[in-house]
Structure 1
């Protein structure tokens, strides 16, 4: 009886956290709660979305970028993060204004053959990134605790399933756990920058001066974009905001958008810092070579003699937190994509098993890190799907009403989409030649 009562008490506590957040949000919207703390109840959707920008695929791509090109590709990270802020804000706005997510609106607004094609491409992208995230978490556990990769895969699967089940108590418990894991990742890289200070002058130049020397740099630039701007998080963000706090009028919608945009700036700003720190640490620590270091396990073992066991351990802790949190987010995004495009939902445990199975096969029979890097490049080819959809839907007054995006926003978003497609075509040309 005691365990049952303890479980019921825990469930009630979890559900209560969501109810308290909902009441706090309403107090802010009605003007009964003001000040700096009034922002906290709105924090959650962008934090969850930001996990996709700090997943293990970023670790593999950024480490290779820093060890291969030094500080020269930091500008790609900066631009990719700014573009990510724009599109994540557009996705969140779509959910707040319409009460529907991006995939649902695509199903309603576009012809059926196009919707089916978008669904297939988006599912492939979501599964590809989930595989990379799952493998990254397992690799972190394997290296940190000196166990087999199979053991790491099993532990990652169990932990991510437990985290996903928190959603049964409402949105807040899951948001808090993900936020804690994000904090671990961020603090880990703050420590790494103190342990291995970068060349700040080279960092500044690399962040503002565009340079792409050689085909390897272009490949890595596309990989960085694919690892930074994630297709599945664009679908997920609108799903997280659509029902979190339903707006009762346009005044409340405007207020919700005000808080949402600021959360995007803060959450993705932190994600951008982590990505920059990854490249900076790699450039500062590892000897520069043509191919760079593309293997996370090699990077870990290289850090031990260079910076000591402490720095290497911090690196693995951040990788483990990244893999677990992003794997949870990947599963959530897959649910939103499937339900939105084809109006079909499967239990979360079934979705988790579907994405775990190929990860086990790849992890036990193929090079894990190569699979992670390839998945990030592949993601970039599917990225135009949600980008184009967001531009089209955000500009339609029939969808957004008075909240339709302005011409300046649409022009900037369109140019960003064209740039990404152009980089992808250039990469494809190199691969085929």
Structure 2
């Protein structure tokens, strides 16, 4: 379809037929669609997305061009913080907390879909909309809390990747941190070539994590009956179980990914009308379901492997997990574990930096160079590595995230309910009430944890 600004006479001259469009060079088809040309794989993906929206691609081919945002967001659901909390959960409580992983994953799917929808419908990201719609004191408070969450996130992500490098290559933790910092910065530079190269690299790292844990499940002696029971029957016995449950929720539903997802969709394939928005939302919801469904399986696999292998040995940390895997299941299982930990740490650290940039720009309209942002967020990790217990710091960081999490959740509920923001795409009552219930549940769990600490 030609742009509305083209007159009927000009349209007859310049607008090609459907057959002619298919024979156009890619760059001309992008210009015809009103899309600015970008480099390489990103250009091809944008072209394929436009063809899908126009109905020229069918089946899986119509879906693939839109795969990317939820895959990047899913990294936050498989970061080293998940490794730390899931290993402790399986070691301390066996299969009992698998239902928490399932519940957290379902909550994550709902809110990530809401975040993606916000970006697709409005063309703006969550921090930007918060800055416009809420009062200045509220915005400032949300920004400070989000920055604290970003640093807490990076503690687990950066230290986890560095720990994997340190154990696998038998170097010091500081050396591992330097290597991890260099690799993550190199991955971040891929964004200069457009969104697709970065998505492909992150996707490859996510696949590495997933395949690694599928391999672990093959060699670990699992109790499938206990695993099934733990997945569907809610249980919380003792203070440790409550703390670990909150840690799992904080590690699974990441505040920064709720902010980031809206930004990943806002300009990726801009919708030109409501019909295209509806098609984009359908593709987005499918991707969220698949990407976060796979992330849920990986998290469950972590808890199950830990319950199977570490409960008998009393191991409850990543370093001990590696040595115990080497002893009980062999060097192959231990190596695969470290490879997945490195992939997790490096990919999630990249995503954390991206989210931090978006949070700062959206809330306070301030931009800093990526390298400076990277240095600021990893600085606490070096302090912790030199003076504190790394594993305990990783678990505590996930509990901190759980306390910050209600802020973006509440913001998403409020903004998704406003017709002035969403127009005809305002969230329905079922979605709103479900989101409110999930937010209240997380706040209640946080209050329980506070009560335990005070008591």
For normalisation by structure 1, the TM-score amounts to: 0.95
Contact persistence 1:126–1:334 (CA under 8 A): yes
For 1:268-307, list aligned pairs within 5 A.
268-288=292-312, 293-307=315-329
CA drift at 1:288: 4.8
What is the root-mean-square deviation of aligned Cα atoms in Å? 1.0
* TM-superposition CA deviations, 1:142-173 (whole Å, max 9, x none): 00011111110000000000000000010000
* TM-superposition CA deviations, 1:383-417 (whole Å, max 9, x none): 00000000000011110011000000000000000
Of the three residues 163, 172, 179, the one matched with 2:196 is 172
CA distance in 2 between counterparts of 1:311 and 1:51 reads 22
Larger CA deviation: 292-301 vs 73-82: 292-301
CA distance in 2 between counterparts of 1:95 and 1:425 reads 31
For 1:13-24, list aligned pairs within 5 A.
15-24=39-48
Give the paired residue count.
Answer: 418
Q: 1:182 maps to what in 2?
A: 206
Contact persistence 1:107–1:340 (CA under 8 A): yes
Distance 1:95 1:46, change over 3 A: same
CA drift at 1:364: 2.1
Of the three residues 436, 440, 448, the one matched with 1:418 is 440
1:37 and 2:28 are equivalent in the alignment: no
SS at match of 1:47: helix
Of the three residues 381, 386, 389, the one matched with 2:411 is 389
* TM-superposition CA deviations, 1:103-138 (whole Å, max 9, x none): 000000001100000110011001110121000000
For 1:357-396, list aligned pairs within 5 A.
357-396=379-418
1:103 and 2:127 are equivalent in the alignment: yes
1:80 and 2:104 are equivalent in the alignment: yes
Q: 2:349 maps to what in 1?
A: 327
1:250 and 2:289 are equivalent in the alignment: no
Q: 1:5 maps to what in 2?
A: none
**Structure 1 gap ranges (5+):** 1-13
CA drift at 1:35: 2.1
SS at match of 1:72: coil
Contact persistence 1:294–1:370 (CA under 8 A): no
CA distance in 1 between counterparts of 2:59 and 2:254 reads 33
**Structure 2 gap ranges (5+):** 1-37
SS at match of 2:39: helix
* TM-superposition CA deviations, 1:255-298 (whole Å, max 9, x none): 00000000000000110001000000000111358xx5332101
Contact persistence 1:70–1:288 (CA under 8 A): no
CA distance in 2 between counterparts of 1:240 and 1:36 reads 21
- Which is higher, the Rg of structure 1 or of structure 2? 2
Q: 1:8 maps to what in 2?
A: none
For 1:232-251, list aligned pairs within 5 A.
232-251=256-275
Larger CA deviation: 236-245 vs 280-289: 280-289
SS at match of 1:345: coil
SS at match of 2:117: helix
Q: 2:252 maps to what in 1?
A: 228
CA distance in 2 between counterparts of 1:133 and 1:305 reads 26
Q: 1:125 maps to what in 2?
A: 149
1:217 and 2:241 are equivalent in the alignment: yes
* TM-superposition CA deviations, 1:1-56 (whole Å, max 9, x none): xxxxxxxxxxxxx9211000000000000111222122111000000000000000
For 1:145-156, list aligned pairs within 5 A.
145-156=169-180
Contact persistence 1:159–1:324 (CA under 8 A): yes
1:400 and 2:422 are equivalent in the alignment: yes
Q: 1:191 maps to what in 2?
A: 215
Runs of 4+ that moved beyond 6 A? none
Contact persistence 2:310–2:316 (CA under 8 A): no
Q: 1:10 maps to what in 2?
A: none
For normalisation by structure 2, the TM-score amounts to: 0.91
1:143 and 2:156 are equivalent in the alignment: no
Contact persistence 1:73–1:221 (CA under 8 A): yes
CA distance in 2 between counterparts of 1:354 and 1:288 reads 40
CA distance in 2 between counterparts of 1:38 and 1:423 reads 41
Of the three residues 51, 57, 72, the one matched with 2:75 is 51
